[in-house]
Structure 1
Amino acid sequence: MAALPGSRGAVQADTTEAVLLTVHDGLKKQVFKLTDLDALPQQQFTTSTIWTTEPTAFSGPALADVMASSGLSAEALTLRAVNNYSITLNSSTLEENAPIVATRINGKTFSVRERGPLWVVFPYDADSRYRSEHTFAASIWQLTDILADTTP
C-alpha cells in the first residue's frame, strides 16, 4: 500500500476501506471511508471549473452533511489537503447542497494524481457567487482533514 505524501499512514484512493477524511475538533474525531461518504445523501452537478477543460460531473455528499454526520459543529472549519494546503471557511457559508465533498468525477472515483480522492467543489456555473477568489481557494482538492474550530 502506498502512502500519500504528507499523510499520517498508508492510504489508497482505490479502496473503500481506507480512511479518506478525518473530521476533528481537538478532542473528538470522526473518520470517513469511501463507504461512509457514500452512505450520506449524495449531490451531483455538472459545472465548468478553472482546473478542468470542459464541464465535468461531480458527485458526493454535501460538506454540510459530512459535518452533521461527524457530530461536530463550529463557527469555522479549517480544511487541509495532503500537501498541508489549508483554508478556513465560516460554517455559515455551507449550504444544503454546496459545496460537496466530491468522491467521483464523471461517475468514477479519482486518485491523488487526479486531485482526489476527495475534492471540495461548488456548482460554479449555477451562480456568480460561486465564482469568487475565496470560493476558488476553498475548492480544496486532495482533502484529508477538517478541523472544527470551536474557539470563540
Structure 2
Amino acid sequence: MGHFRRRLILATIALFAAAPRALSEVAPEGALPAPSGPVILEVSGKISRSNSPDGKALFDADMLATFPPQELTTATTVTDGVNRFDGILMRDLLNHLGAEGEVVRAIALNDYVIDIPIEDFTAFDVILAHSMDGERLSQRTKGPLWIVYPRDDHPELDDIRYDYRWVWQLQHIEIR
C-alpha cells in the first residue's frame, strides 16, 4: 500500500504541476487565442477582444482562415481586367473583435494611412483579401492582405474617394 500511495501522490503532484501550463494555454472568456505563426495583421483601438498585453488583436494567417470565407469578383484600378479575390468580410472581423467606433484607420506596410468610415463595412461586402485569382497575395502582389470593395456590384463605388480606401499591404487597423 505504501508503494501505491507514493505513486498516487507523485501522479497528483505531476498533474497539478502541469495544470497551470495547460490553463495558461487556454484563452480566457472573450480573449482571442495567441497567434502561432507570423503576425500578418494587428488591430488596435476600440475593441473588446484582444490577445496581447497592450490590448491589440494579433492575427496570423491560420487565425484569419477560421472566419467564413468570402469570394468577390471585381475590377480594380490597379490590375488588368476582372479579378477574383478570396478573403473574409471586414464586418465579420470587426464584429468578432467587438469593434465600436466610427472610423477604421488602415495602415499599410509602406506607411500609407487612410481613415475609412466603419459604415462602409456594413453598407458593402468589403473583404479583407488574402488571395487574388487563386494565388496567395505576397508583398510583391499587394499582400499579404488587401482591403477590396465590391466595385462592380455598386456603381457608387466607381469613385476616386473609394479608390483610396483599397489598402493593399495592410498591416494594421486602428478602430477610432
TM-score, normalization: structure 1? 0.82
Q: Higher relative CO (CA 8 A, sep ≥ 6), structure 1 or 2?
A: 1
Unaligned 5+ runs, structure 2: 1-35, 47-53
**Structure 2 residue aligned with 1:88, among 101, 115, 120?**
115
Give me the whole-angstrom Cα distance separating, in 2, the residues matched to 1:115 and 1:59: 13
Q: Does the 8 A contact of 1:19 with 1:31 survive in 2?
A: yes
Aligned match of 1:101 = 128
The range that moved more, 24-33 or 46-55, is: 24-33
Q: Does the 8 A contact of 2:105 with 2:175 survive in 1?
A: yes
Give me the whole-angstrom Cα distance separating, in 2, the residues matched to 1:44 and 1:147: 25
Q: Which has the higher helix share?
A: 2
SS at match of 2:173: strand
Count of matched residue positions in the alignment of Structure 1 and Structure 2: 134
TM-score, normalization: structure 2? 0.71
Give me the whole-angstrom Cα distance separating, in 1, the residues matched to 2:167 and 2:173: 11
From the CA coordinates, give the structure whose radius of gyration is larger: 2
- What letter corresponds to residue 33 of structure 1 in structure 2? D
Aligned match of 1:18 = 38
Unaligned 5+ runs, structure 1: 1-15
Give me the whole-angstrom Cα distance separating, in 2, the residues matched to 1:113 and 1:89: 24
Percent of residue pairs identical: 28
Provide, for residues 29-82 of structure 1, a one-character-per-residue CA deviation record: whole Å limited to 9, x for no partner.
101111111111111021111111121100101111111222332111100000
